[in-house]
A and B are shown apart, each in its own frame.
Chain A
């Protein structure tokens, strides 16, 4: 018999952690080749975040205009349906609508991630046969979802802010331009972005752990 090539191990070591960007490459390749579904999921994020950012932006614009306390402007504000005496108080109805749209978005992302896991049971099993740790599987799904979430949130936040500006110019003309709360608007964009990104990560947690818990034998038995 041939001489032992490998030196004898005292015990089997534990498999090490793989850098995040490797999982990112796998996620990105998956997204690119399943572009249509990624775009549908993303459009859900865009709509929900655009709505949120629009409401935040509009609120900060009207608040800035009410503070001016100009008679002609107050008439315009009242014509636009703003109650100048209670401006600055949050509208419960609006909060509920925004909450609902975000919840719908969350469910949409979770659903799309679950589909992605179900489709790739065999791929997960194969990766585990190659030596992937559970954490690597979790990472690929979290990254896949956050990539969709972040891209969707950027577009959604910008879109929502632009719509808020267009509506404000239509209602208040020069007043809006003169009293534009630039900082507050930027802040609403940032909020929209953070909420969208956060949402996409939260939505992917359950699917990612379900994927990682799959046993390689079960994963390999799935017929395609």
Chain B
């Protein structure tokens, strides 16, 4: 097996809906190294989210294998998966998914508490991370009391607080305007640069590309193309046409 942080081997996912079968992934093989910033692009329904769910230990492949840090995720039981998600993965969602009844500080602190630290320590750590993403002055606000961009910052703080190896961001800028989206991408990129976290985003968003070390195009559940940092810019014109959903 390769030395990659994440290694997907011929991953297939089939959904059965009554008589109909949907092939969400048709054999995806991909290695991602530690500290890489990878953008996964592709039209709607191409299988991006499905692939993310496999890496994050949220779903299991119909066939094929996913390894993270050398562990085969399909071998883990429920409590091990909970540990894995808590300590190794930071999830960021398109619609932020904050707990609406908890304040910014509590939203971040609860993720920290799950990792096993005391509630008091968790609040201290949460406040520090929120400060880092520029929300030190919004600790006691509810999600509904801050802007969309600020909500996504809270979500980023929550994803960061347990110092994960991997950030999985499924369309993190999908609900944000251009400018706010750029700020969020900047934050993600900073995490990669400063903390060495592996950042993987799924997106339709062309702004993502310039920040990426690697761009992977998925189409109909297959990897269509993989481009390194150097190759990306040249092809931007054609990408645009390809990714219109």
Interface positions of A (Cβ within 8 A of B)? 1-2, 4-6, 8-9, 11-16, 18-19, 21-22, 25-26, 29-30, 32-34, 122-123, 125-134, 136, 215-217, 220, 224
Q: Which of A22, A32, A128 contacts B85 (CB 8 A)?
A: A128
Q: Which residues of A contact B58 (CB under 8 A)?
A: 129, 215-217, 220
Q: Which of A22, A34, A134 contacts B78 (CB 8 A)?
A: A134
A129 to B96, CA, bound (A): 13
Q: Which residues of A contact B114 (CB under 8 A)?
A: 15, 18, 130-132, 136
B228 nearest CB across to chain A (Å): 15
Q: Which of B76, B78, B98, B99 contacts A26 (CB 8 A)?
A: B99
A12-B71, A123-B97, A215-B58 given; name 17 further pairs at CB < 8 Å.
A1-B35, A5-B196, A11-B71, A11-B80, A13-B80, A14-B77, A15-B86, A21-B119, A22-B113, A26-B101, A33-B100, A33-B101, A34-B101, A126-B97, A129-B97, A217-B58, A220-B58
Binds A, one of B87-95, B129-137, B176-184, B202-210: B87-95
Q: Is the CB of A2 within 8 A of B35?
A: yes
Q: Which residues of B contact A129 (CB under 8 A)?
A: 56, 58, 85, 89, 91, 97
Q: Which of B53, B83, B196 contacts A217 (CB 8 A)?
A: B53
A162 to B35, CA, bound (A): 69
Tally of contacts, chain A with chain B, CB under 8 A = 108
Greatest chain A CB density within 10 A among B70, B77, B99 is at B99
A217 to B91, CA, bound (A): 12
A165 nearest CB across to chain B (Å): 40
Q: Is the CB of B115 within 8 A of A25?
A: no
Greatest chain A CB density within 10 A among B34, B82, B113 is at B82
Q: Which residues of B contact A33 (CB under 8 A)?
A: 100-101
Q: Which residues of B contact A1 (CB under 8 A)?
A: 33-35
Whether B79 sits at the interface, judged by CB under 8 Å, is yes
Q: Which of A2, A12, A13 contacts B34 (CB 8 A)?
A: A2
Q: Which residues of A contact B241 (CB under 8 A)?
A: none
Q: Which residues of A contact B18 (CB under 8 A)?
A: none
Chain B: interface residue total (CB-CB under 8 A) = 43
Q: Which residues of A contact B111 (CB under 8 A)?
A: 130-131
Q: Which residues of A contact B59 (CB under 8 A)?
A: 217
A22 to B98, CA, bound (A): 17
Q: Is the CB of B100 within 8 A of A128?
A: no
Q: Is the CB of A14 within 8 A of B165?
A: no
Q: Is the CB of A15 within 8 A of B35?
A: no
Q: Which of B79, B95, B101 contacts A224 (CB 8 A)?
A: B95
Q: Is the CB of B110 within 8 A of A22?
A: yes
Whether B240 sits at the interface, judged by CB under 8 Å, is no
Q: Which residues of A contact B71 (CB under 8 A)?
A: 9, 11-12
Q: Which of A18, A134, A217 contacts B113 (CB 8 A)?
A: A18
Q: Which residues of B contact A29 (CB under 8 A)?
A: 99, 101-102, 106
Whether B26 sits at the interface, judged by CB under 8 Å, is no
A118 to B82, CA, bound (A): 22
Q: Is the CB of A130 within 8 A of B85?
A: yes
Which chain B residue lies CB-closest to A130?
Answer: B111
Instruction: Give 10 nearest A-B pairs by CB, closest first.
Output: A131-B86, A15-B82, A14-B79, A131-B114, A15-B83, A29-B101, A126-B97, A12-B80, A130-B111, A33-B101
Q: Which residues of B contact A133 (CB under 8 A)?
A: 78-79, 82
